[in-house]
Structure 1
Amino acid sequence: MQFIDQAEIKVLAGQGGNGMVAYRREKYVPAGGPAGGDGGDGGSVWLVCTTDLQTLLDFSYNRIFKAEDGERGGPKNMTGARGEDRIVPVPCGTVVVDRDTGETLGDLTEPGQKLLVAKGGKGGFGNTHFASNNNRAPEFATEGRPGGERTLLLELKLLAEVGIIGLPNAGKSTLISVLSSARPKIADYPFTTLVPNLGVVRKETGDGVVFADIPGLIEGAHMGTGLGHDFLRHIERTRLLLHVVDMTSENPRTDYDTIQQELVAYGHGLEKRPQLLVLNKYDSVQTQSPEELLAPFADLSLPKVVISAATRHNLEPLLHLCWQHLDQLNQSEAEV
C-alpha cells in the first residue's frame, strides 16, 4: 500500500441562484403584481471522517471538489432548488488547514464527524421580495451570492495509542509483527520501513490497542533528514511511547540520546510523552546480564525492560507495563 499523509485540495461551494423578475399573468387579473421567486442557495462542501479510508492517496488524483449551484428563482413566486452539498470523505486523523491563512479549521478524529469547509452562496431575491406601497411592481431582482472557495492542506496523523520509536534497525518492525497481526517488511539493513505500520494488540480482556511503528527517525530528523520529518507528526497522537534500543549497537546510550534530542527539537511536547525503554536483541548479547545491559541507563527514571523481539523473550512483562501505564493515563484523564 502506498502511504500518503499530506495532500492539497481546492473546495468550491455552489453559487446562489439569481432571483427572478416576473409578474402574475392570469385571466381577469389585469394588474397582476410581482411574482418572481428567490434563487436557491448554493450547496456547501463538507469533509466527513470515515474508517473506510486509511490514507490520503485518493487526493493525489482528484484535487478539486465543487458543490452544485443553486437554481434560478421561477415565476409564480417559486423558489429555485437548493444546490446539492458535496461530501468529501477523509480518513480518521486528518487535520485540515487553510493554506492561505495557516488557520487550522478542524481535526477529524471520530467516524462520522463533519467539518464545513466552504459554505454555499445565498440565493438572490426575486422582485416579489421588493414590493412595497411605494413600488407595487418592482422591475429588478438580485443575483445570487458566490459560494466560499478555499485551498486546503490535509495532513494525516495516525491514530495509535502506543508509538514504537527508535533508530533504524532497532527492531521496531519485528516487535510490532510479533505483538500483532501486522506484517511489515523486515530486513537487516537501515530504512527497511518506509511507511508507518499499524497493528492491533489484544489485551487479556479482548480489547484491542493500536500500536504504530514509526519509521525514519535519525539524527536531524526534525529538520527533514532521512524520513523522520514526515513521520514525527504521527507521534503527536500517541499516548505512550516504546523507545526501542538495539543492544548490539556500539553505543546504545548514544542511540537513545539521539532520538530523545530529536523529540525535543521537534517540539509539540513529544519529549514529555510517557515512555518505556525497551532494550532489544537480548538474544545476541546474552554474554551480558540484564543488569549490565541496563547500567548505562541507570540515571533514567522511566521503566525499563530487556527483551528479544526475535525470540519473544520478555514480551509479556513488556505488555504488562504497557497496559499498566495506559490504565493510569485513563484514570488520570477520568479524574480531570
Structure 2
Amino acid sequence: MKLLLLPILLFAACNQPPIDAAAPAPTETDTIVSQPAARTDTIGYYRKMLHLRHYKPSLKWPVENEPPLSGAILPYKRIVAYYGNLYSTQMGILGALPPAAMKMKLLQEVKKWEQADTLFPVQPALHYIAITAQGKPGKDHKYRLRMPFSQIDSILQMAKGINAIVFLDIQVGLSTLQEEIPTLEKYLRMPHVHLGIDPEYSMKDGSVPCTKIGTFDAADINYAVQYLSGLVKQNNLPPKILVVHRFTQAMITHYGNIRRSDEVQIVINMDGFGYPAKKIDSYKYFVAKEPVQYTGFKLFYKNDLTNGKIMQPEEVLLLYPSPIYIQYQ
C-alpha cells in the first residue's frame, strides 16, 4: 500500500520586513578553552544510545557505535532549545517574550522533559537566527541579512543566566555557507556556542527565499562539518554540535555522502509544523529513514496548536529513534 504524505507547511522567516541592522565592528569576547581528551564513559554512552533506540537496534540505527570525545554533550544530555530572533515576535518563542519570561518558560519545559525521560539530564539552549533570509535582495543581492554582533552578545548574556548553550542559525538566501559561516567565527570559537544551518532558505536556483523550499547538498553540510572540526582542533574545544533542519526529501540531497567527524556531532532536526500525524510521518520518512548521526524534533507553540495540538514529551519520546535535540519555535 502506498502511503500518501501530506505536505507540512513551511514557516517563512523572510515574510518579515527587511531589517536595517548593520553589524558593528566585532569586539573582543573572552573565550573559555576546554581541553578535549580521549573517549570515555563507554558504559554510559552505550546505555543512552540503546535507550534512544528503545533497546531495539535496527539495521539503520545506531549509525555509529563508538563513544564521542570527552566533553561532548550528546548523547549524555538531551538538549531543549528555544528558537527565534530578537527583532521579530513571529519567528519564534525566543523573540516573542521578554527575556525573563522566556527563560522561565524554557526552564519549565526543561523540567517537563527531565520528568518524561529521567535517564537524560536536559541541557537548555537558545537557538538564535543570526543570519536571516529576506524577501528583498539587499545591497549585495544575497537576500539575507546578518544580525548585529550586539544582538548575539545579548543572547549570550541571556544564556549565561540559565547555564544555557547557544546555537547560531544561518539562512543563506542566495549566499553560501562558505561565505556566511566565517562571519560568525568569533562566536563559534567559544566552547558553548554551536551552529545551525537551514536548507529551507538556501536558494541554489536563484529564487527569492520563501517562494519555494530550498536545499543543501551533502557537500554543503560537509563544509560546515569541516569548518567546525577545524575550529575544535585549533582551539582545543570540546566537540561542536551542528543542527541541520529538514522536513522534505529534497531539502538534503545525497545524505549518504555526509561525512561525520569526531569533532562535530550532527543533528538532523525535523522542522515541520502541523498536526501530530503529519509531524510523525515527516520525522519517520525524512529524518529516521535517512540516518546521519543524531535526530531532533521541532515543536511550534502557535502553528502546531492551530493544526490540532502541541505534542507532549511523552509522545515525542515514542518516536524511533527518540530525538536527542528538541526545539521550540
Instruction: State whether TM-score is above 0.5.
Output: no
Higher helix share: 2
Higher strand share: 1
Higher-Rg structure is 1
Structure-2-length-normalised TM-score: 0.34
